[in-house]
A and B are shown apart, each in its own frame.
Chain A
Amino acid sequence: MNGSLYKHMIKAQAKTIVSYSVGSAFYIALIAAIYPSLADSEAIKNYLQQLPDQLLKVFNITGMGNLLEFIAGEYYGLLFILIGSIYCITAANQLMARPIDRGSMAYLLATPNSRRTIAFTQALVLLTGLAAIVVSTTAAGFAADAWLVTDDALDRERFLEINVVGFLLFFAISGYSFFFSAMANDEKRALSLSGGGTVLFYSFDLIGKLTEKAEWLRYGSIFAAFEPGNIAQGQVEWLPVCLLLLAIGAIGYTAGIGFFAKRDLPL
């Protein structure tokens, strides 16, 4: 790792990272804050019961039995995934594909640092941002539990599990995004590969949940590994899932750094 580059890149990314973190933290607190007013509402319960099972599955809503299930369904089920994925794809693109495409990578590589060092530093910047977003979301969840929702305790352990698996999901997504960004000569191409891949994965998961016949599609999707509603109910063996996501991400980053070190650069 190169300290100067890391510091500079973190500074350059700070605005983005802070806005994603604050946005995510604010939203989870908001969801938690409205929980008490909905928890005892018979109308909502009846409404949920009337919705088809598939639809609830699509949005990862398992129930409203407690605060954790509510947060898992209302926040982690969709918006969290969206925020994290967008950060992974855009940040990987900005850190690797853009400097390669625009040529500014030449200045960094002209310094006596190996390509591995440069790529590794950029990867670390990406992961630092990701960690900041997930950690601030987790912290906001705990804070909301402590101050906003007094009559329903959050299952802390399972809430942490959701966040750990969530972080690893993004580790995997950022891993392949980083790989595409390190490989491409063209910023747009990198963006369409990592963005397109992610949308495809998400659609597989969605279709698999909607139609039983197509459930096998979910096995081809990275998003099937993250089931916040089921984690909240304690129905997930989360360790194997974690290892799988960890492996996907590690392969993405390692391959990305490895290919970047050996490729021709149009600088």
Chain B
Amino acid sequence: MIELQQLTKVFPNGKGIFDVTLTVRQGEVFGFLGPNGAGKSTTIRHLLGFLKPTKGRASINGFDCWRESVRVQASVGYLPGEIAFPEGMTGMELLDLLAGMRRMNTTRHRDELIERLQLDVRLPIRKMSKGTKQKVGLVAALMHEPDVIILDEPTSGLDPLMQQTFIDLIREEKQKGKTIFLSSHIFPEIERTCDRVAIMKDGRLMAVNDIHELQSMQRKLFDVILAREEDVARLLASPLEIIRHAGRRVCIAVQGNYDAFIHELAQCKVQSLDIHAQSLEDIFMHYYDRRGDER
């Protein structure tokens, strides 16, 4: 369980994070979103005990992340956002070093992970591609079967196939009852893994939402090509929100009202259909900016 209570860190330049309060429950997958510089990594660094809060506190499983960082780290697996490994070692040497420092006595789970991620650990790290390095980091974060997994931008650099493998991995860990905290930009990844999502902006927590709430907030744009001209007029007359149309191509915005959309479309002859999903951040920003304007 991760708990942040009014966590505040003010850097000398006045930036930082302010009054961040949230709770991640045991067994939950929690997504953390926000533009660059919003304070996501700063928050995560507090969880690992790298930064001392100016005010407030962060705790994991009841242990204070700053004062009892050793107790915290025993049950945490961490993937840093920036890949920077110690120099001059192969993947295996790094994993051995970290296993030794953790006093691990079994390598079963580690070997499984290496197999799953198709990782060639014999390569020197400096010769690895960004994606391969990311895999080494993932193995290092998961190999000791931690209760709490903290991942900063876990899929950056992974190809789509590996992103899928990663999502499967996260789901499995979730099934084992692990608590997972991850920051990400990629919607499908968050959508398919997270139970709840928080967004940060300018160092402040904007909102914490259930993933289903978010999905209902998401506007999807459907690019439909119709077979008959008269169907265009029919759609224009329908209650659907038409963004634009040109010839037989119509762009329809759908937010939650999928049933109405299907219903209307069923009466037309559809030649082709394309979906553009809004990114999660866009939804958030769109949603909260609008709400901010209303105030």
* Distance to closest chain A CB from B13 (angstroms): 13
Is residue B235 contacting chain A, with contact meaning CB distance below 8 A?
Answer: no
Is residue B140 contacting chain A, with contact meaning CB distance below 8 A?
Answer: yes
* Distance to closest chain B CB from A12 (angstroms): 6
Contact A113 B100 (CB under 8 A): no
* Distance to closest chain B CB from A157 (angstroms): 41
* Set of chain A residues within 8 Å of B93, measured between Cβ atoms: 8
Is residue B294 contacting chain A, with contact meaning CB distance below 8 A?
Answer: no
Contact B50 A113 (CB under 8 A): no
Identify the closest chain B residue to A111 (Cβ).
B101
A77-B74 Cα distance, complex, nearest whole Å: 50
Is residue B159 contacting chain A, with contact meaning CB distance below 8 A?
Answer: no
Contact B76 A5 (CB under 8 A): no
Contact B48 A109 (CB under 8 A): yes
A4-B87 Cα distance, complex, nearest whole Å: 16
Contact A113 B84 (CB under 8 A): no
Contact A12 B84 (CB under 8 A): no
Is residue A267 contacting chain B, with contact meaning CB distance below 8 A?
Answer: yes
Interface residue range, chain A: 20 to 34
Interface residue from B45, B51, B74, B84 paired with A112 (Cβ < 8 Å): B74
* Set of chain B residues within 8 Å of A98, measured between Cβ atoms: 87
Main secondary structure of the interface of A (DSSP, over half): helix
Identify the closest chain B residue to A267 (Cβ).
B50
A4 in contact with B101 given A106-B48, A265-B51 (CB within 8 Å) = yes
Q: Tell me the chain A residues, 8-37 only, with Cβ under 8 Å from chain B.
A: 8, 12
Contact A99 B86 (CB under 8 A): yes
* Set of chain B residues within 8 Å of A5, measured between Cβ atoms: 97, 100-101
A114-B101 Cα distance, complex, nearest whole Å: 11
Q: Tell me the chain A residues, 94-112 only, with Cβ under 8 Å from chain B.
A: 98-99, 102-104, 106-112
Contact A112 B102 (CB under 8 A): yes
* Set of chain B residues within 8 Å of A262, measured between Cβ atoms: 52
Partner-B contacts on A (CB < 8 A): 2-5, 7-8, 12, 98-99, 102-104, 106-115, 262, 264-267
Given contacts A99-B86, A109-B48, 19 further A-B contacts (CB under 8 A): A4-B99, A4-B101, A5-B101, A12-B88, A106-B84, A107-B80, A107-B140, A109-B49, A109-B50, A109-B69, A110-B48, A110-B76, A110-B78, A110-B80, A111-B101, A112-B73, A114-B69, A115-B69, A265-B50
Q: Which 10 A-B pairs have the closest CB atoms?
A: A4-B100, A103-B84, A112-B74, A111-B101, A112-B73, A110-B78, A265-B50, A104-B86, A102-B84, A106-B80
16 A-B Cβ contacts within 8 A? A4-B99, A12-B88, A12-B89, A99-B86, A102-B84, A103-B82, A104-B84, A107-B85, A109-B73, A112-B70, A112-B71, A112-B74, A113-B101, A262-B52, A267-B48, A267-B50
